[in-house]
Structure 1
Amino acid sequence: MTSIINTATQAAHAAAASLVAKAQIKPGDAIPSTQNLLKEDAADKPLASLSLTGKNVIVGVPGAFTGTCNKQVPGYIEKYEAFKAKGINEIFVVAVNDLFTMKAWKENLAPNGTPVRFLVDDTGAWVTSLGLLFDATPLLGAPLTEGDKVDFIAVEQVPSDIQVTGAETILAQLS
């Protein structure tokens, strides 16, 4: 009985995700507005907007504390200065999580702090507008931006492999 309920729930979630999904963002597209969609410091205080100036890396992850993300995100923390040296203004890690979990994950990954910004899209609205909301499908993406325009986007076909969204690979894309 449990497997029937789980299967039905998964099918309903997949159907709902496909209804709200839009085409995946691509180079040349503007980053959708983040107005009041993302949170960083307080669960009841969304960011008015995400100010993107210069080149930025936005690392979209399926969730805090997941196996793949625990392998992927530390590279961005460790190589932060190398990214800065390549002209990256800011690195953002965005997950469809609650703020409390994301803060705990950041503390776990960087107990001494990090300038990498961890943001939550607790409703999934912003990730949906990027076309990167998924239902357990391989859509682990990392857009690079120039201001509010997408310059490059890397999307993993097999998220657990971290072939195209790892810090080393993204760093190599920068001139």
Structure 2
Amino acid sequence: MVMIKVGDKMPAGTFTQITKDGPQKISAEDFFKGRKVVLFSVPGAFTPTCDAKHLPGFVEKAGDIKGKGVDAIACMAVNDAFVMKAWGKSQNTDGKVEMLADGNAEYTKALGLDMDATGFGMGIRGQRFSLVVDNGVVKQVNVEQKGEFKVSSADFVLTQL
């Protein structure tokens, strides 16, 4: 699988979110259509860097990011929707960051941004990255080097808007 790049259209696929009516599937096409979205991905909910820095940075900077014409900020992880909802609640994401579950890593694989974390007992996960997407077309791709947290941060994404 080839990694997504600037100018590509976001692939077809689905995410899952927990709503008041339970788990709901959302098509990627509907999610990205007609709006500017910052999508970032973390290797796992509640994992150290993700929980201490990555998601909190986007929650903290949500107003600044949306002030630059971004309609939505979304956090995606290869976790189930119930875990993503609980993590979002613990990080106070309501109204700031949408929590998208990619439970079987299908969307992450379609982006070409999966990684094998079986050595850590975590199975297939998503790499740490951020994308700026405008009406379904990728405008920025920021993929972290292994073990780093720089180019996918809220502060770095702000410099690209």
TM-score category of the 2 structures, normalised to the smaller one: 0.7 to 0.9
1:68 aligns with 2:45: no
Q: 1:138 to 1:91 in 2, by over 3 A?
A: closer
RMSD: 1.9
1:28 aligns with 2:7: yes
Kindly indicate whether the alpha-carbon contact (under 8 Å) linking 2:12 and 2:27 is maintained by their aligned counterparts in 1. Answer: no
Q: Does 1:79 align with 2:66?
A: no
SS at match of 1:93: strand
Number of residues paired by the alignment? Answer: 149
**The structure with more strand, counted as a fraction of residues:** 2
Q: Does the alignment pair 1:56 with 2:44?
A: no
> Aligned to 1:39, what secondary structure does the other structure show?
strand
Q: Deviations over 1:31-61 (max 9, x none)?
A: 0112xx2111256531244431232100011
Unpaired runs of at least 5, structure 2: 118-124
Aligned to 2:107: 126
1:58, 1:93 within 8 Å by CA — same for their partners in 2?
yes
With over 3 angstroms needed to count, the CA separation of the structure-2 counterparts of 1:105 and 1:44, relative to structure 1, is: closer
Give the TM-score taking structure 1 as reference length. Answer: 0.78
Aligned twin of 1:3: none
The ranges of structure 1 where at least 4 consecutive aligned residues each deviate by more than 2 angstroms after the TM superposition are 42-45, 48-51, 136-139
Amino acid at match of 2:65: F
TM-score (norm 2): 0.85
Shifted more, 137-146 versus 117-126: the winner is: 137-146
- Is the radius of gyration larger for structure 1 or structure 2? 1
More helix per residue: 1
